[in-house]
Structure 1
Amino acid sequence: MPTALPVPIQFELPEGWRAAPPDAVGAPEASFVALHPQPDARFTANIAIDGEYRPDAARLSAIAHESVERLSQAVMSVKVTGHREIGSADAPGFTQTLAVSAIVGGVARDLVQSQVYLSMVDVADPRKRAVIRLVLTATASQHPYVLGDFQDFVRTVRLDADAAP
């Protein structure tokens, strides 16, 4: 069953990408998954969204490192190939790019993940901080071609104040 996000968000999918039920595509921990229309070597590039409340004061870079540690338990290898702070003091973010070797559907694959972490304050309770994670996963050869779509997608993500209780 998909995991609910801690705060409501809204976004626009890039042209051609389509939503898929997280459970049906093997991502039950995700709140949302979108699939690219053109698979590469039988792997479908995807965008996944998840998030959690973070009552601690952990920096986004530390939260991203936690994600790498969790991922390393599930794949053959993972290496951080780039990272940087983004956003502003009022709307901080962090990005990282990972080179991942994994067995997917019984096939060894070299994948690239672009991860974006966004810190958002709950509009219903400003004392609560949520961290939303946006993840693009693609084959190493397709990643350069879908990265622009992902960047366009990230630019559309925002709190959905209308959905607040």
Structure 2
Amino acid sequence: MATSLPTPIEFRLPKGWQAVSPDAAGAPGAAFVAIHPATNRPGFTTNITIDGEHRSDAASLAEIADESINRLHQAARTVSLSQRTEFGSADAPGLTQLLRVTTLVARESTELIQCQVYLSMSDVDRPQERAVIRLSLTATEDNFKAVIGDFQEFVASVRPESPGSHSDQ
């Protein structure tokens, strides 16, 4: 069953992307999933997912990103970290990592690239709590360059939901 985010956000999906049910997309732990139908191939379609969690521990975003890699190792044949970059400020930190993943898709070994962006937002009412949002783009190697610009546009549009607004979910 699809999950909810620890804090409401708003965003804009780039042209050519279509929101789908996380359950129907096979991503029941996600709060939001969008696919890029033009990149469909048997068993896989390029996708963007959003998930997140409340954290009250002192784990750094790099440690949280490592947890994500460990979870991927359980589902994929191989996972390797290609690049990791921290950005933002102490009040609003972020981290981007690029992963190469080998997994079975339609019974074939398939190379995927996953770009993950982690955003940390402090809870105004409870400073010891924070919401960590993960935005992920997963694409085949041959489609990645064609959609990374869309993903960057999508990430740039993400912000905390303002009162009275609704995201393009």
CA RMSD of aligned residues (A): 1.6
Q: What's the counterpart of residue 77 of structure 1?
A: 78
Q: What's the counterpart of residue 31 of structure 2?
A: 31
Q: Give, in angstroms, the shift of residue 19 of structure 1.
A: 0.2
1:109-144 superposed Cα distances (whole Å, 9 cap, x missing partner): 100000000001235544420100000000011111
Q: What's the counterpart of residue 19 of structure 1?
A: 19
The DSSP-based 3-state class of the residue aligned with 1:120 is strand
1:74-115 superposed Cα distances (whole Å, 9 cap, x missing partner): 100000000010122221100000000001232321000000
Q: Which of 100-109 and 79-88 deviates more?
A: 100-109
Tell whether the 8 Å contact from 2:36 to 2:46 is kept in structure 1 after alignment: yes
Counterparts in 2 of 1:27-106, with a 5 A limit? 27-42=27-42, 43-106=44-107
Where do 5+ consecutive residues of structure 2 fail to align? Answer: none
1:51-84 superposed Cα distances (whole Å, 9 cap, x missing partner): 0001001110110011001100110000000001
- Give the Cα–Cα distance (whole angstroms) in 2 for the partners of residues 155 and 60 of structure 1: 19
Matched letter for residue 10 of structure 2: Q
Q: Give, in angstroms, the shift of residue 37 of structure 1.
A: 2.6
The DSSP-based 3-state class of the residue aligned with 1:86 is strand
Tell me the TM-score normalized by structure 2: 0.91
Where do 5+ consecutive residues of structure 1 fail to align? Answer: none
- Give the Cα–Cα distance (whole angstroms) in 1 for the partners of residues 29 and 82 of structure 2: 25
Identity %: 54
- Give the Cα–Cα distance (whole angstroms) in 2 for the partners of residues 163 and 105 of structure 1: 43
Tell whether the 8 Å contact from 2:91 to 2:122 is kept in structure 1 after alignment: no
- Give the Cα–Cα distance (whole angstroms) in 1 for the partners of residues 125 and 37 of structure 2: 37
Tell me the TM-score normalized by structure 1: 0.94
Q: Which of 125-134 and 53-62 deviates more?
A: 125-134
Q: Which of 126-135 and 141-150 deviates more?
A: 126-135
Matched letter for residue 12 of structure 2: E
Q: What's the counterpart of residue 142 of structure 1?
A: 143
Q: Which of 128-137 and 40-49 deviates more?
A: 40-49
- Give the Cα–Cα distance (whole angstroms) in 1 for the partners of residues 60 and 162 of structure 2: 25
Q: What's the counterpart of residue 122 of structure 2?
A: 121
Give the paired residue count. 164
